[in-house]
């Protein structure tokens, strides 16, 4: 039964059947073939209760927050500040790219939005200052992935919903690895530019007065971060309420900057709902499929089968990493998470991995998926912003950062405290 299920699922997905339909049809077929009770009757009830789940309300709110923030015009000035502070390092603007992505990530829950926003602002500078274009492109594609590791994060919310893990804990757990990964990315640039100084572009001259003055441009992102993430730990708001407050804060920012209009709001809302409906349909289908496979006892059978392999904890972790890296080359990341997490996370947690820690590991694997060809959405976003040259430049430029992500996974496996220390401090 396990083999049939897997073969059916892989066949449907390989045939380019929409992921939601593949999951739904698989659930219905398994029900028809194996079940004595008509499980599909529960479909309506499952769909209704999943789709008014309060935690999931934060998903459209975060997307809307990003859509409004993008239009509020703060990213450009914030990038300017990063240039003033970091461009003296060997590798110059490329460090500013990573840092600006990190700061934007603290207000955005999406990696694609982070790469698109910072990329739009940064790319015109690459040729102007004579950078090695490939490495420069790589910093944008890779830096963008920080969007989902540094809170807030849409992917963490989805993980939390699928595994019943606490969102506040996941957010806290993402902060230290997020900063470490930023530093790893910057160290990668530093290393490359010390070996090949020509890649580092021309020096941009700044002074201390300019640096200090530029700090004011960090206030908007800091404010949004305070509202969206701070309010949770101040005990003011639940994650969903915090997301709603973030929408209002971003709206005020846009109004203050004179960027608000009804047309802009309508466009932002339409974009938001397009992403939300698409993701929610996959979630509804996945909930139904999970109901069917657990009613049929498939989940237990699968867990037992994996346990029967007799792999050690670390071997199992390695297998999961390889699985996601390979799958991530071909599959869109949110659908990949929704399809696999309900089966894989329980197995890993049963083996003794901390669910919060595993969530962070998954997010880092998703980041890797975003910059590994052939289907790495961030690679394409950056290539499209650039509008010339070959896609290969972006892929080659991202390779050093894929290696940095692997180092990050090893660090996280060796020192689980990187993720678990901060949530532990807050728990007291």
Partner 1 sequence: MLDRLLAFLDKLARAAIIGGGGMIFAAALLVSFDVLARKAFGTSLGGADELSGYALAISTTWGLAAVLLARGNVRVDAVYQHLPARLRGALDLVSLTALALFAVPLARHGYAVLETSWSLGALSNTPLKTPLWIPQALWVAGLVLFAVVLVVLLARAASAFVRGDLPTVRRLAGARSIQEEAADEAAHGERVAREMAQ
| Cα 20 off chain centre by | 20
Q: Does 254 bind partner 1 (CB under 8 A)?
A: no
Q: Does 274 bind partner 1 (CB under 8 A)?
A: yes
Instruction: For the CB of residue 263, give the shortest distance to partner 1 in the complex, in Å.
Output: 11
Measured from the CB atom, the residue of 229 and 306 that comes closer to partner 1 is 229
Q: Does 384 bind partner 1 (CB under 8 A)?
A: yes
| Cα 12 off chain centre by | 26
Q: Which stretch binds partner 1 (CB under 8 A): 15-23, 94-102, 201-209, 215-223?
A: 15-23
Binding mask 340-379 for partner 1 (x = CB under 8 A): ----------------------------------xx-x--
Among 86, 385, 395, 418, contact with partner 1 (rule: CB under 8 A):
385
Whole-number Å distance between alpha carbons of 90 and 190: 6
**Quick check: 118 and 144 in contact, CB under 8 A?**
yes
Among 87, 163, 214, 272, contact with partner 1 (rule: CB under 8 A):
272
**37 three-state secondary structure:** coil
Binding mask 173-202 for partner 1 (x = CB under 8 A): ------------------------------
Q: Does 245 bind partner 1 (CB under 8 A)?
A: yes
Instruction: Classify each residue of 352-379 as buried b or exposed e, where b means 16 or more C-beta atoms within 10 Å of its C-beta.
Output: ebbbbbbbbbbbbbbbbbbbbeebbbbb
Whole-number Å distance between alpha carbons of 332 and 366: 9
Q: Which of residues 288-327 bind partner 1 (CB under 8 A)?
A: none
Q: Element (H or E) spanning 423, and its range?
A: helix 417-427
Instruction: For the CB of residue 17, give the shortest distance to partner 1 in the complex, in Å.
Output: 5
Q: Does 390 bind partner 1 (CB under 8 A)?
A: no
**200 three-state secondary structure:** strand
Q: Which stretch binds partner 1 (CB under 8 A): 50-58, 80-88, 162-170, 183-191?
A: 50-58
Q: CB neighbours (10 Å) of residue 3?
A: 7
Q: Does 45 bind partner 1 (CB under 8 A)?
A: yes
Among 36, 37, 41, 390, contact with partner 1 (rule: CB under 8 A):
41
Whole-number Å distance between alpha carbons of 100 and 158: 25
Q: CB neighbours (10 Å) of residue 269?
A: 15
Q: Does 141 bind partner 1 (CB under 8 A)?
A: no
Binding mask 63-82 for partner 1 (x = CB under 8 A): -x-----xx-x--x------
Whole-number Å distance between alpha carbons of 161 and 50: 10
Indicate the Cα dihedral angle 37, 38, 40, 41, nearest 10°: -110
Instruction: For the CB of residue 11, give the shortest distance to partner 1 in the complex, in Å.
Output: 10
Q: Does 125 bind partner 1 (CB under 8 A)?
A: no
- The vertex-397 CA angle with 391 and 400, nearest 5°, equals 140
Instruction: For the CB of residue 75, give the shortest distance to partner 1 in the complex, in Å.
Output: 8
| CA-closest candidate to residue 242, choices 33, 58, 9 | 58
Instruction: For the CB of residue 25, give the shortest distance to partner 1 in the complex, in Å.
Output: 5
Among 247, 296, 316, 348, contact with partner 1 (rule: CB under 8 A):
247
Q: Which stretch binds partner 1 (CB under 8 A): 1-9, 82-90, 180-188, 237-245?
A: 237-245
**Quick check: 332 and 12 in contact, CB under 8 A?**
no
Any bridge partners for residue 200, and if so which?
Answer: 131
Measured from the CB atom, the residue of 47 and 100 that comes closer to partner 1 is 47
Q: Does 20 bind partner 1 (CB under 8 A)?
A: yes
Among 22, 172, 345, 409, contact with partner 1 (rule: CB under 8 A):
22
**Quick check: 224 and 253 in contact, CB under 8 A?**
yes
Q: Does 223 bind partner 1 (CB under 8 A)?
A: no
Measured from the CB atom, the residue of 284 and 420 that comes closer to partner 1 is 284
Report in angstroms the alpha-carbon separations of 199 from 58, 92, 135, 156. 42, 10, 8, 35
**428 three-state secondary structure:** coil
Q: E strands along 208-251, which residues?
A: none
Instruction: For the CB of residue 88, give the shortest distance to partner 1 in the complex, in Å.
Output: 26
Instruction: Name residue, tokens 């040259």.
Output: 389
Q: Does 60 bind partner 1 (CB under 8 A)?
A: yes
């Amino acid at each position: 039964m396990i083999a049939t299920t897997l073969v059916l699922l892989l066949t449907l997905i390989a045939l380019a059947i929409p992921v939601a339909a593949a999951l739904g049809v698989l659930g219905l077929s398994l029900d028809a073939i194996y079940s004595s009770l008509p499980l599909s009757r529960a479909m309506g009830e499952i769909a209704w209760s999943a789709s008014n789940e309060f935690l999931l309300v934060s998903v459209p709110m975060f997307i809307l927050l990003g859509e409004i923030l993008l239009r509020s015009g703060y990213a450009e000035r914030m990038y300017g500040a990063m240039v003033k502070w970091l461009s003296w390092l060997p590798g110059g603007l490329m460090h500013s790219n990573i840092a600006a992505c990190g700061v934007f990530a603290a207000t955005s829950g999406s990696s694609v939005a982070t790469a698109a926003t910072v990329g739009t602002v940064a790319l015109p500078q690459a040729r102007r200052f004579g950078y090695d274009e490939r490495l420069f492109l790589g910093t944008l594609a890779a830096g963008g992935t920080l969007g989902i590791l540094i809170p807030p994060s849409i992917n963490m919310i989805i993980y939390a919903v699928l595994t019943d893990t606490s969102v506040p804990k996941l957010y806290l757990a993402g902060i230290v690895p997020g900063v470490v990964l930023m530093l790893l990315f910057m160290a990668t640039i530093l290393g490359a530019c010390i070996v090949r100084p020509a890649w580092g572009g021309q020096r941009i001259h700044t002074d201390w007065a300019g640096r200090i003055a530029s700090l004011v441009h960090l206030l908007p992102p800091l404010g949004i971060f305070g509202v969206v993430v701070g309010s949770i730990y101040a005990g003011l708001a639940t994650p969903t309420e915090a997301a709603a407050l973030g929408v209002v804060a971003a709206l005020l920012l846009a109004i203050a900057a004179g960027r608000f209009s009804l047309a802009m709001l309508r466009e932002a809302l339409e974009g938001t709902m397009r992403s939300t409906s698409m993701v929610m349909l996959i979630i509804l289908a996945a909930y139904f499929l999970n109901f069917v496979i657990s009613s049929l006892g498939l989940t237990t059978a699968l867990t037992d089968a994996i346990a029967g392999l007799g792999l050690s904890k670390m071997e199992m972790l390695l297998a999961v990493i390889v699985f996601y890296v390979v799958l991530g080359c071909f599959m869109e990341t949110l659908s990949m998470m929704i399809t696999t997490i309900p089966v894989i996370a329980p197995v890993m947690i049963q083996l003794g991995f901390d669910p919060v820690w595993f969530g962070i590991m998954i997010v880092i694997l998703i980041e890797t998926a975003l910059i590994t060809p052939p289907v790495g959405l961030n690679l394409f976003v950056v290539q499209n912003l650039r509008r010339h040259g070959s896609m290969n430049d972006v892929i080659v430029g991202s390779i050093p950062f894929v290696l940095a992500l692997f180092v990050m996974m090893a660090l996280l496996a060796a020192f689980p405290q990187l993720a678990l220390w901060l949530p532990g401090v807050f728990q007291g």
